Structure 1
Amino acid sequence: MSSAETGRQARARGGERLLTFAILAALLAALLPVVRVIEPGWWLVAALALSAMVLAAGYTARLYRLPAVAVTLIEVAVWVVFMTLIFLRDTALLWVIPTLDTFRAVPMLVQAAMEEITIGAAPLEPTRSLAFVVVGSMGLLTIIVDHVVVTARMPLLASVGIVAVSLIPAIAAPSKVDVIGFVFLAVTILFLLRSETRSREKPTEREAERTAGVPATALGIGAIAIVVAVVATPVLPQPGARAGSGLGPGPGIDATLQLGDDLRRPQEMEVLRVRTNAPSVPYLRATTLSRFDGGAWEPDRSQTVSLQSERAFGVVDSGDDIRIGEYTAKIDVVNLDSQWAPVPYPAVGITGLGGGMWGAVPYNHTVATTGGSTQGQSYEVAYDVPRPSLEQVRAAVSVGSQVRDETTQLPDDIPPIIGELAVQLTADATTDYDRLTALQRWFRGTDFRYSLESPVEDGFDGSGAEAVARFLEVREGYCIHFASAFALMARTLHMPSRIVVGYLPGTPTTDTIDEQPVFSVSSSQLHAWPEVFFEGIGWIPFEPTSGLGVPTTFSSELTLPGQTADPDATTPQTNPTPTARGDQAQIDLEEQRQNASGGTSQDALDPLPILGVVAAMIVLLALPFLIRELRRRQQDAAARGGDAAAAWQSVQEAAIDVGIPVPASETPRAFAGRLVAEHGVAASEMNTVLLAIERASYSRAGTRSYWMGDAAADAAASVRTSLLASVPPSRRILALLAPRSLVIRPGSVYAGTAPVRAR
């Protein structure tokens, strides 16, 4: 085999190797958006490792000139061995050879993953079944893309598929556009297309292309497209909320008190619409949690009773001397996939539910189904609100004679701080109600701050006893921490308590139906609050969450007849101002308060947006110069490597930048003579570059002439400097900041014509 043929094969292998890396980079760019819906972990490393192994196997197989079918079969074999070893080795022979048990386990893993995706909220925990689906899908995508790009030679089709895959996480969990991720994906796609083209070119074609400046043109077009997209992105509307913004067919209700995961969703959406004939919009409960084992609160598991039964909702716990307000509420489900139908408390009747076996739980007046969903439901609820006076509440005793024992139970190893603080804060109170209002007042005071991030950062993002103790020390958290701490402290004072999971009343809209204003409830208003049982009155809700809603209060008997106070204040109400929009909105309220403390928005002008705009404009203006400088450095490097055409082309482009015609009809010698005679270029330097290009043009070695060393590159640099010095300063600045050679190629119709010389 000749040395020339050996060189060609080496270059071909180099092109294939570069293409393999380009495919891997593009697949990585498509995989990164998945971390928005699945927590990063070992699955990400496994997916990248599998893709790299599949591509390496394909590259190696092609080195031995194996048929395309054999290459694909080898890649599939690598995929099977890897998936078996990582996920199914317990059912395989020698950990890598699949058996019948291995194939039987695959559908179960896939089904489990689909269930997690359906009912889960982003970001999902990377379980074994979910990792199996993601890693396996990544491996199969790698096989397909490798075949389409390398075997079928259709890189554009593969790029469309990669882009489509990268969009799936954004569709599943809408969020703000990831500009950095978009730029990375765009760069890898351009790199893939360019690498595939180079892998098919012959060496002589590459030399000709280098002379024609296609790489610089492609780079410029790609860079301009990316910059335009980045600049236009903030102007475009953000992705709207839709069913399935969690990951399933719609957001659900988390009854395990892991509400932080739901409240930290990337996109808020409307879940319910409510209207009522009551003086104020009620909280909507889904279920209650009474049993506490020290580590977590468990939802009450009471048997449902058919809605048609007279025992469906039981009876209201209030005595005969307690006033009752009878109201109705109409609830329209916009986007909520849950087994519990949110209802006011205490519900006594419900109509309009369909599509499943719906029943009521008499113990807590909630509504649930065993085979349906709230999605698309529209129903009406009748509820009777107890309205005791302040004197009646203070006279009542919080005891557990009529409630379950689990509402008073405490774990043996409960942290002492919970009981000690409860006793300390209620030392001056004389009634059970006064003790609870003292706790409520303390939680809602200045000592506590609402935060979704502090529990995660400080490691107490839960509702267990240890998390509550930590919360009482840090004094920053969200609704589950306030509700859990309040309920446990009430139990240390020997009062029956439980936690309710549901929704805040929502925010008013401009719509009115039957003279009733319509309120919109969003996903960020998923909430948890405590309830305490009082003999003769029933379960009374409290609102300890700092800055959220209105604390529970009661009016004195003396004010009830005149209605000088809200008679329905027995139930926590929304803040009268329309800005109280729930847990996530509470952060915005606090930020508004902090801004207000430092002055008005006009006084405290934030300079960062202005600086950002200025910086973006500077980058845009400097982009042509940077691209041209990069192009020049590449030409100098190639010229010092013996590429005479690169040196000559750098001179031609410098001439175009300063406005000198570079026509195709003019010979190199005529062009060089014109630069010397008319534009003050040194004859010795110009002749060096001319000699290099003429010898390269007529030699068998092609455009490479290593014998000239660095002389041609140095001479070309001197010629470029002379050309810039020969024009006025304004033209020189324009040539640097807006080089025409980026869009006008030497010898093109736009490069001008040679001047006619007088004879």
Structure 2
Amino acid sequence: MSAADLNVLRTPRRRRDATLLTIGLFSAIAAAMLPVFSVIAPGAWVAGAFLVGGGALGAGLIVRLSRLPALVASLAEVTVWIVLLTAIFGRSTALLGIIPTPSTFASVPGLVAQASAEIRDGVAPVPPDEGLAFLLVAAIGALAIVLDHVVLTARMPLLAGVGLVAVSLIPTIAIPSDVDVASFVLLAAALLFLLRVDTRARAAASARRDDRARPAQGRRLFGVSATALGVAAVAVIVAVVATPLLPQPGLRFASGGTGGLGTTINPNLELGNDLRQPRDVEVLKVRTTGPTAPYLRAVTLSRFDGAVWQPDTFDTVPLPSDGTVFDRVSVDGDITLADWTTTITVDQLDSPWLPVPYPASTVTGLDGDWLGMPQNRTVVTRAGSTREQVYEVQASVPRPTLEQIRSKTVGGTDLDPALTALPAEVPAVIGDTAREVTANAQTPYDKLVALQNWFRSSQFRYSLDAPVDSGFDGAGLDAVAQFLQVRAGYCVHYASAFAVMARTLGIPARIVIGYLPGTASSIPQQGGTEYSVSSSQLHSWPEVYFEGIGWVPFEPTNSLGVPTNFASGSSGNNTTTPNTPSQDAEAPADQPSSAPSEAAENDPGAQTTGGGSVAARQSTAWVAPVLGILVLLVLAGVPAVARIVRRRRRLAAARAGDPVAAWTAMLEDAVDLGIPVSSALSPRAFAVLLVEEHGAPSDDVGLLREAVERVSYAGDSFDPARGPGLVAAVTGVRAALDERTAPLRRFLARAYPRSLVTRPGTVGAVERESVSR
């Protein structure tokens, strides 16, 4: 702390300013922490954070009020920070419960590791255990120490405000959600308070004024504050009201990340992070000539090392101009093929993997450079994105009968051995359960249907949270074994368990990542039903290879999608569209509301509409325009209100006998009406200008001129008895100026007063008006 700062703190006013800055900083930190509650559940850690942060700030304030150097304040704050953290989290290893020992410090890495695990595996809002609570409390206390020196030692509250705003935005970035209006307003108010106190302290420290000039200086400072408050009010209104009306920013793809935002496709089976996002957005729309909306596949995963399913990286070929990227699917001669065309319009999906129905043969209409993988019939790009793509896919879909698929073998001599490979040590529960469930099945297809029906029965339930709560949120062998015990999970666990269990039976299987069939629009569309696919319908499912048919998808995920079940050829219904099997699957309470139900065969209308119909969404389309108009009306009235408040303050001071306030009020009226007000003119010269060129009443102007000259040059004191006359003179001058001013100019002077931004006597008060003339 400098000698000047020490001298400043000797005065009661400066000690008061230091106290106010500390209180304002504590309030700003508290407001910046409010959005954290969207990702971290509130609890005892909140009280700990306030105690540690407030204790550190209080220690620094006491040191400063004692006129000690800033270094001592830093030492005191760090000491209090360590002591309080020890008292809260390290009492068992501390002396007297507050003095840390080497054992206390040795426990810190373990707490940090525990916090990292909670953050990695937790579902927002995460209930913090000891590790995460320690990290939060320690971080908030450290932030308070750093910002204390930024505000009170370096005297840079604006820099502290930037840091606090950045901290408050982190939860919103982690989990996109609506603006937290309460926390935003509180943070803005606290930062404005900090800036106001700091500005006043700086002005008071640099000003040299006698008792006579001190009231006028105070009024000038109040004028600056009123202008700042007006600007701040406009900023708050714009941020709170207008920002939610703006379109959401585009989200870029991040390969392999674990913090997906639901608008990309994660190829590493870490879909739980995407599905647990609270914001559900439409990613694409589908229209098809098929009987129902198809599953859309983007990535296949064939190689499994026991812990991770690896995305396939086969050789690629450029997408030709005619879109014929893949050969027509090869099937046995007795298998029927159905040619279906699907049109896909992508909205908020930003991914290098293109969602296409299986088995695609041609893909047309794409922008950019796209590549096809013939071995798995997927389409990718190395530089582009799916965002805003509109493309058409033609697929020839095999449609075997029940008898045909039962007669087929699985696998083949040309099939990659990786499709049946498993690690040497597979938990016994996996293979034993697979054999138990399929004991009565005779053919590979019957075994797969038995597994599918078992997973979709009431013995299992769909849950996004159970894998996290039970500690098996993954797709490895250990996660599969625990899933079979807990029997609750989401699509990743069902697909991985099904594929691994199929491989234990010698059946080649892989996993596909893509999207469930969309929800049917309630509004009739030209060319057939349109289906909307949302981010919550990101999905994974297993596929099995049948000789002479190709890859056949299955749907084991309980209560989601359409289970695979082929019709008998003897019934005359030769179709591959799955029938809904008779089962007792229960719909879980935490199933995404937009997930499709089990649709009846050949009935696109059986798809549920999920979170709400398009008609319902359109019924609220008026909200944005109405809110926009209200915002404009509010913004239009803010300058006028601010000017009225300022003028009333001026007149109140004038009524108390202050000629400077009366003269300033008259100057501001002149600026509003477009009259040049130059600092080069003395009060006497400006009075002559008003009277001779603008028709102001000479008596009123003379009264105001004489009063301001006497208090400025002759040293007269304020006389309250003259107050009513000063106010009457200001009012008379304004009325006379209004009479000689065009109606449009008078309206602009009231609605958008220039004196709020152009002070009388500044260059702008003269130059801007001269330009407009």
Question: Structure 2 length normalisation: TM-score?
Answer: 0.57
In the TM superposition, what is the alpha-carbon distance from 1:74 to its structure 2 partner? 1.6
Preserved contact between residue 57 and residue 144 of structure 2 (Cα < 8 Å)? yes
Question: Which residue is 1:536 aligned to?
Answer: none
Distance 1:361 1:191, change over 3 A: same
In the TM superposition, what is the alpha-carbon distance from 1:142 to its structure 2 partner? 1.0
Question: Which residue is 1:750 aligned to?
Answer: 764
The C-alpha deviation readout for 1:442-463, integer Å capped at 9, x for no partner, is x99xxxxx999xx9xxxxx999
Preserved contact between residue 30 and residue 163 of structure 1 (Cα < 8 Å)? yes
Question: Which residue is 1:722 aligned to?
Answer: 735
Match of 2:640 among 612, 625, 630: 625
Question: Which residue is 1:735 aligned to?
Answer: 749
Equivalent pairs counted in the alignment come to 558
- SS of equivalent residue, structure 1 residue 722: helix
1:257-656 equivalences under 5 Å are: 262-266=275-279, 364=430, 386-388=444-446, 505-506=514-515, 524-525=536-537, 545=559, 548-550=560-562, 553-559=565-571, 564-566=574-576, 583=592, 585-586=594-595, 595=613, 601=618, 604=619, 606-636=621-651, 644-656=659-671
Distance 1:19 1:357, change over 3 A: farther
Structure 2 residue 152 is matched with structure 1 residue 146: no
Preserved contact between residue 724 and residue 732 of structure 1 (Cα < 8 Å)? no
Question: Which residue is 1:192 aligned to?
Answer: 194
The C-alpha deviation readout for 1:252-285, integer Å capped at 9, x for no partner, is 9799xxx799534447799xxxxxxxx9779999
What amino acid maps onto 1:751 in structure 2? Answer: A
Distance 1:306 1:174 in 2: 28
Distance 1:655 1:114, change over 3 A: same
Question: Which residue is 1:11 aligned to?
Answer: 13
Question: Which residue is 2:712 aligned to?
Answer: 697
Distance 1:595 1:246, change over 3 A: closer
In the TM superposition, what is the alpha-carbon distance from 1:237 to its structure 2 partner? 1.6
1:73-84 equivalences under 5 Å are: 73-84=75-86
Preserved contact between residue 526 and residue 583 of structure 1 (Cα < 8 Å)? no
Preserved contact between residue 173 and residue 245 of structure 1 (Cα < 8 Å)? no
What amino acid maps onto 1:565 in structure 2? Answer: T
The C-alpha deviation readout for 1:670-714, integer Å capped at 9, x for no partner, is 44465567767677765665455344424779xx84756964774
Distance 1:332 1:12, change over 3 A: farther
Question: Which residue is 2:50 aligned to?
Answer: 48
Distance 2:267 2:733 in 1: 64
Question: Which residue is 1:88 aligned to?
Answer: 90
Distance 2:570 2:593 in 1: 39
Question: Structure 1 length normalisation: TM-score?
Answer: 0.58
Distance 1:650 1:592, change over 3 A: farther
Structure 2 residue 121 is matched with structure 1 residue 119: yes
In the TM superposition, what is the alpha-carbon distance from 1:126 to its structure 2 partner? 2.3
- SS of equivalent residue, structure 2 residue 675: coil
Match of 2:26 among 24, 27, 51: 24
The C-alpha deviation readout for 1:387-407, integer Å capped at 9, x for no partner, is 459xx99xx99999xxxxxx9
- SS of equivalent residue, structure 2 residue 68: coil
Distance 1:268 1:136, change over 3 A: farther
Distance 1:747 1:306 in 2: 73
Q: Which runs of 5+ in 1 are unaligned?
A: 271-278, 287-302, 308-322, 335-345, 367-383, 401-406, 408-432, 445-449, 456-460, 464-478, 484-501, 510-519, 530-539, 573-581
The C-alpha deviation readout for 1:601-659, integer Å capped at 9, x for no partner, is 5xx57432221121122122223213323433444565567765334322211121122
Distance 1:605 1:522, change over 3 A: closer
Preserved contact between residue 697 and residue 733 of structure 2 (Cα < 8 Å)? no
Question: Which residue is 1:98 aligned to?
Answer: 100
The C-alpha deviation readout for 1:523-561, integer Å capped at 9, x for no partner, is 7346799xxxxxxxxxx966763xx522565523514xx
The C-alpha deviation readout for 1:305-351, integer Å capped at 9, x for no partner, is 999xxxxxxxxxxxxxxx9xxx99689999xxxxxxxxxxx998987
Q: Which moved more, 1:612-621 or 1:18-27?
A: 18-27
CA RMSD of aligned residues (A): 6.0
Distance 2:147 2:259 in 1: 29
- SS of equivalent residue, structure 2 residue 107: helix
Distance 1:16 1:610 in 2: 46
Q: Which runs of 5+ in 2 are unaligned?
A: 1-6, 209-213, 284-293, 310-334, 336-358, 360-374, 382-408, 433-441, 471-486, 492-510, 519-531, 542-553, 583-590, 598-606
Match of 1:128 among 127, 130, 139: 130
- SS of equivalent residue, structure 1 residue 237: coil
Preserved contact between residue 241 and residue 268 of structure 1 (Cα < 8 Å)? no
Match of 2:220 among 192, 195, 211: 211
In the TM superposition, what is the alpha-carbon distance from 1:175 to its structure 2 partner? 4.7
- SS of equivalent residue, structure 1 residue 201: helix
